[in-house]
Structure formats: C-alpha cells, structure tokens
Amino acid sequence: MALTFHPRAALDARMIAQKYAGVSEKLMERFWCEVDAAVDLIAANPRRYHFDPSGLRRLNLKKFPYHLLFEEKSNDARIIVIRHHNQNPSFGLRRR
C-alpha cells in the first residue's frame, strides 16, 4: 500500500524530533525509529487501527505521547497529523 504524509504532518514530525533533540540525540533517534515503525504498520494493514472521533484512523506511538491520524483510501493511506495526546482534538483536522 502506498503511504504519504500531508506536508504539515511531516513538519509535525520534524518539530517533535527537534524538541527531543534538545534533550538528547539518542531520544530523537528513538522517536524517529518509532515513527518509522508506525508508518510500516500502517502501510502493512491500515484497517487494523480504530477510528478516532474525527473519522480518521488512529495509531498511538508506544513509547512517546503522540499519535498519528490517517485516512485510508482504496490503495493508499495518507497521514494527516501527528499530535500529542493532550493537544486540542481539532488540531490538524482541516488538512485533508
């Protein structure tokens, strides 16, 4: 399955990674590894993940307090937003 990032979702990931880089390079690398693993899981089976109240599917990162919201279409998926669990639930939903 093809998987793409909304340009702002890619920016979300970079901004979060920069925050962790300010703490330690190792922590930033662990964040990127977890995002990469999440992307692979979505690409392998996007229907495995539940729908968020927004109508998008949601995958929670395991070791970081962030989640990815994505939409699935026939043969592709698009990550719309990466946001903190405590962030405003409407953040990033206009990006479609």
Distances (CA, A) of 89 to 10, 16, 92: 18, 17, 8
- Return the SS3 of 42: helix
Longest pairwise C-alpha distance within the chain: 40
Structural domain containing residue 73:
2-95
The total of structural domains in the chain comes to 1
Kindly report, residue by residue over 43-88, the tens digit of the pLDDT: 999 999 999 999 999 999 999 999 999 999 888 899 999 999 999 9
Question: What per-residue confidence (pLDDT) applies to 88?
Answer: 93
pTM exceeds 0.85 for this model = yes
Inform me whether the pLDDT recorded for 96 exceeds 80: no
CATH code where residue 70 lies = 3.30.2310.20
